[in-house]
Amino acid sequence: MDTLPAVDPVTTNGVAPVIVVDRVSRWFGSVVAVSDVTFDIAPGITGLLGPNGAGKTTLLRMITGLADVSAGSVTVFGQPVRDNPPLYGRMGVMSEHETVYGFLKGRDFVRLMGRLRGVTDLDAAVDRAIGLVDLADAAHRPMGTYSRGMRQRMRLAAMLVHDPEILILDEPLNGADPRQRVHFQILLRQLAAEGRTIVLSSHILEEVEQLADTVLLIVNGKLAASGGFRAIRAALDERPYHVLVVSDSPRKLAAAVIQLDSVDAVNVDPDGTIVVLSRNVRDLQIELPRLAQSASISLRRVEPLDDSLESVFGYLAER
Amino acid sequence: MTQANSAEGTVFDIGYQKYTGPREGRNRARLSVFKDGVRTSLGFGRGARAKVLPWFFIGVLVAIALVMALVAGAAKGLGSPEDVAQLNLPSHSDYYGIASIIFFVFAAVGAPELLCPDRRDGVINLYLVRPLTGSDYIAARWCAFFMVMLAVAWLPQIILAIGLTMGDPEPAGYFRDNWLDIPRFLAAGVPLAAYTTTLALVTAAFTTRRAYASVFLVGLFVITTPFTTGLAMEIGGTAGQWISMFNLSNIPVHVNDLIFGDVSEITSVAPAAELSAWILVGWYLLWTLVPAGILWIRYRRLTP
Amino acid sequence: MNSVYTLTLRQLSGRWRLVIMSVLASLPVLMAVILVRSVRAPSVEEFELVVLNAMLAGSVSPLVVLAVASVAFANEIEDRTLANLTLSPIPRWQIVVPKLLAAVTVSGPFIAISAFLTSYVAFNGDMTATVAVTLSAFVGVALYSSAFVWLGLVTTRAIGFGLLYVVLWEGYFSGFVSGVRFLSIRYHSIALMRGFDTRRFVATDDISFGFAIGASVVVFVGFLLLSVRRLRRMDVP
C-alpha cells in the first residue's frame, strides 16, 4: 500500500526536523518488522500509532539507536543515532518493559540515571524530576515495593532528570490509572510547550488522539498515514463519511436524501435512525437541512460517526 | 442481532462458538508437560540456537564412542589377539565411567531449563490451574528428562556396539561372543539416567536462575571427584573407601560395574569399588531416592 | 564508571552465591590441610598437579568466576535493564570495564584467599611460594572474568557454553593435548606461578613464563575489546 502524502502537519512551522527516518527497514530472518519507512519528526508531540505487532517498538528502538537498521538511516539532530553515545545526553527514553533494578530505592535509581547521563547539579535535578512525577514520599523505598504505576512514574522521572530535548516513550500509559493518565498528559503538554520533541507510541487511540499534534500510523511495518488525524481523514476521500441522522420520518427522509448528488448510500436502522454515506460532507451539510425543510421533516440529530482516529485507524488496518 | 437486555446493552452474535469437542483430562495434561519437557531439553521447536548446546554434548558423547570403536578396530586390525587382550581396551563397561562427567554437565545445563524458567516467569501457575497438580507436573518433567538422558546414554553405546562389531576382523564371531554387552549397557544406562536426572532436577528446584543451578551442579560433580579421589588415596583403609563413596560422579558407575560384573577403568582406582555390592547399590539408591523424595515434596504442595 | 561499578557489585553479591563460592573456595584449602597431615606426603609435582592445577586453577577458579562474571551482563540482558546503561552519553568501554572490575572484585578475594591458604599450609609458610600461587591465581581470575563477561554478553546460554569450556577444554583436553595448553587460561596461570617461584616449581617446556605473561595480557585485553565491540553492535533489549 502506498503511503499517503503527509498532509498539513500541524506543528512544523518551518522548524527543522529533529529526527529524520529515511527509508528504514528492519527484518529478522525472513520476518519484516519495518518496511521502507520515511518520515521526519519535529518539535511537539508526535504519536506513533498502530496495532500490536505493527512494528512501533522496533521502529522506536531504531530511532533510539538500541537496535540496528537493516536498511536506511536514522539521524537525530543531523547525526546518525547508532553508536553515537554523546547524543544520549539529549535524549530520554522510556521503554515498554519495566526495566528497573528492584533493589534500588527510587531516589537512588533516578540519581544513578542522572549521574550516568552527566547531570551536573545532581541533587537539585533529582528532586525536580521526582517532584514532577509527584513521588517524593515514596522515593526512599526500594522500587521492588512499588506498584506498577509508581514504577512507571519513577521511570519517567529517571527519563527527565537530565532535561533531555527529545523524549521517546513506548506505550507509556500501559496500566496507568485515569488520574495518572491526566497527570501525564498535562506533564507532556507542558514539556512539549517548552520546545521539546516528544514521540510516543501507543495502540490506544484516545491517548494519541488527545495528546499528539501529529500522528504516524504504522500498520504491518509500513507507514500508512502521517499528519494531523483530521487531515488524514480528509485525505481518505475514497471512503465515504458516515453521518447519523435522527428524524421523525426516517424512511421518508431516506427516500429524499438518496436523490442528492452528494450522497452515495443510505442505511436505515430498525430503530429509526438513518446513516448517510457521503463523500462530500460539505455539500451534504447545506443540502440536508434544505431537503428536510421542504419535506417537512424535523431533524433531531445530525452527527458524523467517524470523525475520530479510531475509524481512520480501523479503515486503514482493514486495508 | 440478539438482545440480551434491551434497556442497557446489546450482545451481538458475531458467530462465536464454544468448543464442543472432546475435553481430555489429567492424563492429557501430563502428557503435554512431558512432551514439552522432551522438546525443550533437545531444543526442538525453538530455533537453531537452542539446539546447539544439547546436540553439541550429544556429539561429544558420540565422538567418544566413535574414538573408542576406532581405536579398538585399529588395534585388532594391527595386532594379534593376544596383544589385543593384553591391552585391555576400553569397552562398553568403561564407557559410562569415561563419559560420566559429560553426562553430568549435560544434565546440569539441561535440567534447569525445565524447571527454573517456569517458576521464574510465573508460568508454573498457568500449568497448575489446569487439571494438573504439582506432583503431576514434576513427575512429567522428571520422566521427560529421564527419557532424554536415557536416549543420550544409549545412543553412543549403540554406536560403540556397531563400531566394535564392524571393526572386528570377524564381526559375526565378535557379536556371538559379546552380545550380552547389549542388554548390559541398556540396563546400566537406567541407573545413570535416573541418578543424573534426579540430582539435576532437585538442584534446579531450589533456585529460579538457571545459571546458579548449573554451576552448583557442575561444581558439585567436578570438584568432589579429584577431592575425594586424592583424599581417599591418602587416608586409605575403610575411611578411604567411604570417602571415595562421596565421589558423586562414580556412584552410578559402581552400579554399572555390578551389572557388567567387571570393574571399569575409572572406578578401578576408587577404593569404594572394594566395598560389597549391597553397600554400593544401597548407596546409589540413597543418593537417588532421597533427592527424588525432596523433589516430590517440593513440588507436591505447589498451588497456583 | 563508579556508579556502574557499585551497581554491579550489588547485583553480583547475592547471599547464596557468596555462600556457595566460599564452600567451593575452601575445598583446595581442606585438601592441602589433609595432605599435609597425611602419612605419605605428596611431592611438589603431585601437589601442584592435583590441587593447584586440576582443582584450583582448573575447576574451582573458573567455576566461581563463571557464576559471577557471566551474569554481569547476562542478568541485565535477561531483566532488560541493560538499556538503562547503554542509553547514557558515555563511551561503551566505560560500561564494560566497571562491570569486569566488579566481577573480579567479587570473585577475586575468594580465589585469592583460597590460593593463599592452600599454598601457605602446603609449603609451610614459605612466602615466596605462597605469593606466587596467590598472584597467579588472581591473574587467572582476571583472565577468566574477562572471557566470561564477554560470553555473557554474546549469548543467553553463557553458562552452558562456559561449562562446556571449563569441563571439556580446560578439564579434559588441556590435560591430554599439549597444544591446547597454549590456549588454556588454566595453564597460563600455572605457567605464571612457576615463573614467579622458580625454585619450588619446576618450569616445564610447556609454556614459558614470558609467553604466559604475553598471553595473559592478550587474553585479558582481547576479551575486553571484544566485549566493547559487542556492546556497540548488539541490539540492546
Cβ-nearest to B234 among C35, C155, C164: C35
> Cβ separation of B226 and C71 shorter than 8 Å?
no
pLDDT band at C40 (very low <50, low <70, confident <90, very high): low
For chain A, give every domain's residue range: 19-234, 240-305
Mean pLDDT of A23-28: 92
| Predicted local distance difference test score (pLDDT) of residue A4 | 43
Q: Which of the other chains make 3 or more beta carbon contacts under 8 angstroms with chain B?
A: C
Cβ-nearest to A85 among C11, C79, C91: C91
Q: Which residues of A148-187 are buried (b: 16+ CB within 10 A; e: fewer)?
A: ebbbbbbbbbbbbbbbbbbbbbbbbbeebeeebbebbeeb
Q: Does any CB of chain C come closer than 8 Å to the CB of residue A115?
A: yes
Cα–Cα distance for residue pair A15/A123, rounded to 1 Å: 34
Q: Does any CB of chain B come closer than 8 Å to the CB of residue C214?
A: no
Q: Does any CB of chain C come closer than 8 Å to the CB of residue A103?
A: yes
> Cβ separation of A68 and C233 shorter than 8 Å?
yes
Q: Do residues B97 and B253 touch, judged by C-beta distance below 8 A?
A: yes
Residue C116 region by backbone torsions, left for phi larger than 0, else alpha for psi between -120 and 50, else beta? alpha
Q: Which of the other chains make 3 or more beta carbon contacts under 8 angstroms with chain A?
A: C
Nearest CA-CA partner of C146 in C73, C91, C50:
C73
What is the largest distance, in Å, between two alpha-carbon atoms of chain C? 63
Nearest CA-CA partner of B274 in B303, B230, B224, B239:
B239
| Predicted local distance difference test score (pLDDT) of residue C100 | 95
> Cβ separation of A83 and C235 shorter than 8 Å?
no
Of residues A313 and A294, more confidently modeled: A294
Cα–Cα distance for residue pair A12/A10, rounded to 1 Å: 6
Of residues A24 and C30, more confidently modeled: A24
Kindly report which listed range (B35-44, B97-106, B227-236) carries the lowest average pLDDT score: B227-236
What sign does the CA torsion over A144, A150, A155, A160 have? negative
Q: Does any CB of chain B come closer than 8 Å to the CB of residue C157?
A: yes
Tell me: pLDDT of B7 over 60: no
Reported residue count of chain C is 237
Lookup result for grid cell 544434565: B107
Is B15 part of a structural domain of the chain? no
| Predicted local distance difference test score (pLDDT) of residue B138 | 92
Domain count along chain C: 1
- In tens, the pLDDT along C124-171 reads 888 888 888 899 899 999 999 999 999 999 988 888 888 888 888 887
Mean pLDDT of C56-80: 87
| Predicted local distance difference test score (pLDDT) of residue B12 | 63
Tell me: pLDDT of A13 over 70: no
Cα–chain center distance at A15: 20
- Which residue out of C52, C163, C170, C186 would a mutagenesis test of the B interface target, given it has the greatest number of B Cβ atoms within 10 Å? C163
> Cβ separation of A117 and C88 shorter than 8 Å?
yes
Of residues A98 and A17, more confidently modeled: A17
Q: Å from C161 to nearest chain B CA? A: 7
| Predicted local distance difference test score (pLDDT) of residue B250 | 83
Mean pLDDT of A286-301: 87
| Predicted local distance difference test score (pLDDT) of residue C97 | 95
Window 157-176 of A: residues touching C by CB (8 A cutoff) are 158
Reported residue count of chain B is 304
| Predicted local distance difference test score (pLDDT) of residue A237 | 60
Tell me: pLDDT of A3 over 60: no
> Cβ separation of C164 and B230 shorter than 8 Å?
no
Mean pLDDT of A3-14: 43
> Cβ separation of B215 and C71 shorter than 8 Å?
no
Cα–Cα distance for residue pair B125/B130, rounded to 1 Å: 9
Of residues B120 and A58, more confidently modeled: A58
Q: Is A220 helix (H, G, I), strand (E, B) or coil?
A: coil
C104: Cβ contacts below 8 Å, ≥ 6 apart: C69, C141, C142, C145
Kindly report which listed range (A136-140, B5-9, B148-152, C23-27) carries the lowest average pLDDT score: B5-9
Tell me: pLDDT of C204 over 70: no
C34: Cβ contacts below 8 Å, ≥ 6 apart: B231, B234, B235
Q: Which CATH superfamily is domain A19-234 in?
A: P-loop containing nucleotide triphosphate hydrolases (3.40.50.300)
Cα–Cα distance for residue pair B226/B215, rounded to 1 Å: 17
C124: Cβ contacts below 8 Å, ≥ 6 apart: none
> Cell triple for residue A125?
535535578
Angle at B253 between CA B251 and CA B259, to 5 degrees: 120
> Cβ separation of B215 and C67 shorter than 8 Å?
yes
Q: Å from C160 to nearest chain A CA? A: 25
> Cβ separation of C20 and B219 shorter than 8 Å?
yes
- In tens, the pLDDT along A104-138 reads 888 999 999 999 998 888 999 999 999 988 888 88
Query: What mean pLDDT, rounded, does chain C reach?
Result: 85
> Cβ separation of B230 and C51 shorter than 8 Å?
yes
Alpha carbon of B182 to those of B158, B160, B167: distances in Å?
A: 8, 10, 16
CATH domain A240-305 topology: Alpha-Beta Plaits (3.30.70)
Range of the domain at B56: 28-300
> Cβ separation of C20 and B60 shorter than 8 Å?
no
Identify the closest residue of chain A to C85 by CA–CA distance: A116
Mean pLDDT of A279-288: 82
Q: Which residues of B27-58 are buried (b: 16+ CB within 10 A; e: fewer)?
A: eebbeebbebbbebbbbeeeeeebeebbeebb
Whether A240-305 and A19-234 are alike in CATH topology: the answer is no
Of residues A125 and B86, more confidently modeled: A125
| Predicted local distance difference test score (pLDDT) of residue C111 | 92
Identify the closest residue of chain C to A87 by CA–CA distance: C89
Task: Name the percent of chain A lying above pLDDT 70.
Answer: 88
| Predicted local distance difference test score (pLDDT) of residue A312 | 60
- In tens, the pLDDT along C100-118 reads 999 999 999 999 999 898 8
Cβ atoms < 10 Å from Cβ of A224: 23
> Cβ separation of B234 and C159 shorter than 8 Å?
no
> Cβ separation of C167 and B222 shorter than 8 Å?
yes
> Cell triple for residue A16?
527543522
Cβ contacts (< 8 Å) between C144 and chain B: which residues? none
Reported residue count of chain A is 319
Q: Å from C228 to nearest chain A CA? A: 11
Residue A291 identity: L
Tell me: pLDDT of B94 over 50: yes
Of residues B242 and A91, more confidently modeled: A91
Tell me: pLDDT of C89 over 90: yes
Cα–Cα distance for residue pair B35/B144, rounded to 1 Å: 7
Range of the domain at C49: 2-233
Nearest CA-CA partner of B109 in B50, B192, B154:
B50
Mean pLDDT of A260-266: 87
Q: Which H, E and C letters describe B213-246, residue by residue?
A: HHHHHHHHHHHHHHHHHHHHHHHCHHHHHHHHHC
Alpha carbon of C186 to those of A135, B170, C85, C102: distances in Å?
A: 52, 45, 32, 21
Task: Name the percent of chain A lying above pLDDT 90.
Answer: 32
Cβ contacts (< 8 Å) between C81 and chain A: which residues? 99-101
Task: Name the percent of chain B lying above pLDDT 70.
Answer: 90
pLDDT band at A220 (very low <50, low <70, confident <90, very high): confident
Q: Is A243 helix (H, G, I), strand (E, B) or coil?
A: strand
Identify the closest residue of chain C to B218 by CA–CA distance: C163
Kindly report which listed range (A254-258, A294-298, C143-147, C175-179) carries the lowest average pLDDT score: C175-179
- Which residue out of B40, B215, B235 would a mutagenesis test of the C interface target, given it has the greatest number of C Cβ atoms within 10 Å? B215
> Cβ separation of C67 and B57 shorter than 8 Å?
no
| Predicted local distance difference test score (pLDDT) of residue A125 | 92
Cα–Cα distance for residue pair C224/C150, rounded to 1 Å: 7
Alpha carbon of B163 to those of B67, B72, B92, B154, C72: distances in Å?
A: 9, 9, 11, 14, 45
Cα–Cα distance for residue pair B156/C96, rounded to 1 Å: 42
Q: Do residues C225 and C92 touch, judged by C-beta distance below 8 A?
A: no
Burial of A266 (0-12, 13-18, 19+ CB in 10 A): buried
Is B290 part of a structural domain of the chain? yes
Nearest CA-CA partner of C232 in C66, C100, C90:
C90
- In tens, the pLDDT along B242-260 reads 878 888 888 888 888 888 8
Cα–Cα distance for residue pair B116/B122, rounded to 1 Å: 10
pLDDT band at B8 (very low <50, low <70, confident <90, very high): low
Query: What mean pLDDT, rounded, does chain A reach?
Result: 84
Identify the closest residue of chain C to B235 by CA–CA distance: C38
Q: Å from C159 to nearest chain B CA? A: 6
| Predicted local distance difference test score (pLDDT) of residue A236 | 63
> Cβ separation of C161 and B234 shorter than 8 Å?
no
For chains A and C, CB pairs below 8 A equal 59
Task: Name the percent of chain C lying above pLDDT 70.
Answer: 94
Lookup result for grid cell 582476571: C142
Element housing A55 (H / E) = none
> Cβ separation of A116 and C90 shorter than 8 Å?
yes
| Model confidence pTM above 0.90 | no
Mean pLDDT of B130-136: 85
Task: Name the percent of chain B lying above pLDDT 90.
Answer: 22
E strand intervals along chain A: 19-28, 31-41, 44-49, 71-76, 79-80, 91-94, 166-170, 197-202, 214-219, 222-227, 241-247, 263-268, 273-278, 299-304
Cβ contacts (< 8 Å) between B231 and chain C: which residues? 31, 34
- Which residue out of C10, C79, C82, C88 would a mutagenesis test of the A interface target, given it has the greatest number of A Cβ atoms within 10 Å? C88
Q: Does any CB of chain C come closer than 8 Å to the CB of residue A144?
A: no
Cβ contacts (< 8 Å) between C171 and chain B: which residues? 101, 222
Mean pLDDT of A258-277: 88
Is B177 part of a structural domain of the chain? yes
Tell me: pLDDT of C13 over 70: yes
Q: Å from B227 to nearest chain C CA? A: 7
Tell me: pLDDT of A302 over 70: yes
Bridge partners, residue A276, by sequence: A243, A266
Q: Does any CB of chain C come closer than 8 Å to the CB of residue A318?
A: no
